[in-house]
Amino acid sequence: MSLDRPAGKVPLLELEGLVKHFPFRDSLGRRRGAVHAVDGVTLAVPRGSVLAIVGESGCGKSTLGRVALRLVEPDAGSLRFDGEDLLALRPAALRAKRREMQLIFQDPFASLDPRMTVEAAITEPLILHRLHRGRERARVAELLERVGLRPELARRWPHEFSGGQRQRIAIARALASEPRLVIGDEPVSALDVSVQAQVVNLLGDLIRDLGLTFVLISHDLGVVRQVADRVAVMYLGRIVEEAPAEQLFLTPRHPYTRALLAAVPGQGGALKLLEGDIPSPVSPPSGCRFRTRCPHAQALCAEVVPELMGDAGRESAGQAAHLTACHFQDSLPPATPIREAAADARLARLQSFFSTNREPTA
C-alpha cells in the first residue's frame, strides 16, 4: 500500500495482476484444464473518472468486472478499494463495503427479482445498510425521479415495465446506497437502440452530477467514446492497450485495437477486418495472444509475452499514459485515421430526436 501518496491521489479502485481461471473437469471429476478468463490484469481507476473496458465477447471483461467487486474470488493478484485490501475483508465486512460499490447488469429482464415490487427492490439496499431509516419511501420516490421514472410506479412489478424502464429501475437500485464506484456490465447493450441513447445519456448525467467513479464494460465503441475518460482494450483475458479515450480513438497502437476500431460500422474500414474466431481461452496462444490473428506477427511474438508499457517519455505523466502490449508498437505503420464518425452523427441525430420529441418515460 502506498501510504506516502496523498489520500486524494490514491485511485478508488486498483487491480494488480488479477487472475481468474475457471477449471473444468471430466465426468470423473479430474481437472481437465481451465478457462483463462482473466489472466494478469492490472488497472487503476482514479476517483471521479470513467474507465471503459472493451473487447470482443468472451474476452473476460464481464468476469473482470465481477472479480473487481469480489463477487467472484480471484485466483491471484490484489484488489484495493480506496486503498483498502478487498481480498483481506471477512464476509461481513465485505457485505458492508458493498454499499460503496455497485454493479449494473446487462439484462434488465434477468437482474430484477420477479417477486419484488420496484419499491421493495430499491428499498432493499437501504434496509441492508440501514440508510435513510424512516424515510425509505421518500428516498425511493427521489431515486425514481432521478432516473426519469414517475414515483407513482413504485408499487408495480418488474414484469409490467419495458426493458429501458427496467434498466432505469436497476440503475436507481444501484444508486440507492450512494455508492462511490459503479461498474456497468454492458448496461445498454440489451436495449433497443433508441432506448440505449436515453440510458447512456442518463448514465452520463448521473456520473457527472453524483461524481461517480464508473467502470463501463462494453463492446460498443460508440457508447464508450461518449462517456469514457480512459479506455482499456481486453483480448483473451489480458489488457492489450490502455489510453485516454481521445488518444485511443485517434492513435490506436495495438493491431487489435486498430482492428476493433475499423470494425465499427460506418467507419469505412480501410483496414482489413480480423479473420477467424477468438482462440480458445482454454489454451491461449503462446507469447502474444493476438499473434494468431495479427497481420504484423513475427517470430518473436510466439516466444515472448509482450508487457503492457508506454513510451518512455510519457510514462511519468500517470493518467495520460498510453500503454500498449505489443513488441512492435513503435515500428508499426501509423494507424489509418478513422473517418470522422458517421455513426456518431447518426447516433447524435437519433438522440436529439428522442430527447426533444418524447418524454423519457411512459
Partner 1 sequence: MSTTAGAIAIETGESPARRAMRRFVQHKLAMFGLVVVVIFVAAALLAPWIAPFDPLETSWSRIRKAPSTTHLFGTDENGRDVLSRVLFGARASLMAGVIAVGGAVLIGVPVGLVAGLGGKWLDILISRIADAMLSIPFLILAIALAAFLGPALENAMIAIAVSASPIFVRLARGMALEARSTDWVEAARALGNPPWRIGLVHVLPNIVPPLLVQATLAIAEAIIAEASLSFLGLGQQPPQPSWGSMLNSAQRFIEGAPWLAIFPGLAIFLVVLAFNLVGDGLRDALDPRSQRR
Q: Which residues bind partner 1 (CB under 8 A)?
A: 69, 71, 91-92, 95-99, 102-103, 105, 107, 110-117, 124-125, 128-129, 137-138, 140-142, 145, 151-157, 159-160, 170, 173, 177
Q: Are 111 and 132 in contact (CB under 8 A)?
A: no
Q: Classify 233 as helix, strand or coil.
A: strand
Which is nearer to partner 1, 41 or 154 (by Cβ)? 154
- Nearest approach, Cβ of 138 to partner 1 (angstroms)? 5
φ and ψ at 17, to 5 degrees? 55, 35
Residue 14 CB, nearest distance to partner 1 (Å)? 20
Give me 241's grid cell. 492497450
Least distance to partner 1 from the beta carbon of 54, Å?
21
Beta carbon of residue 105, minimum distance to partner 1 (angstroms, whole number): 5
CB of 220 to partner 1, least distance (A): 20
Residue closer to partner 1 by CB (options 20, 238) is 20
Assigned C-alpha cell, 289: 495472444
Length of the chain: 362
| Contacts with 358 (C-beta within 8 Å, 6 or more apart), sequence order | none
Nearest to 346 by CA among 190, 192, 194, 164: 194
Minimum distance of partner 1 from residue 247's CB (angstroms): 32
What is the enclosing helix (H) or strand (E) of 181?
strand 181-185
- The residue assigned the cell 513503435 is 330
Q: Whose Cβ is closer to partner 1: residue 213's or residue 329's? A: 213
Toward partner 1, which CB reaches closer, 145 or 307? 145
- Least distance CB 164 / partner 1 (angstroms): 17
Q: Is 213 helix (H, G, I), strand (E, B) or coil?
A: strand
Of 37 and 347, nearer to partner 1 (C-beta) is 37
Minimum CB distance to partner 1 smaller for 125 or for 222: 125
Cβ closest to partner 1, residue 218 vs residue 267 = 218
Q: How far is the CB of 47 from partner 1 (least distance, A)?
A: 21
Q: Which helix (H) or strand (E) holds 84?
A: strand 84-85
User: Residue 85 or residue 160: which is nearer to partner 1 going by CB?
Assistant: 160
Q: What string of DSSP letters covers 270-321?
A: -SPPP-SPPPPTTSPPSSSTTGGG-TT--HHHHHSPPP-B--GGGGGGGGG-
Q: Are 207 and 214 in contact (CB under 8 A)?
A: yes
Q: Which residues contact residue 337 at a Cβ distance below 8 angstroms, ignoring those fewer than 6 apart?
A: 250
Q: Is-contact 243 259, C-beta < 8 A?
A: no
Tell me which residue of 38, 49, 353, 19 sits closest to 182, measured CA to CA: 49
The least CB distance from residue 355 to partner 1, in Å, is 22
Burial of 142 (0-12, 13-18, 19+ CB in 10 A): middle
Nearer Cβ to partner 1 (120/348): 120
Find out whether 294 and 256 touch, Cβ atoms under 8 Å: yes
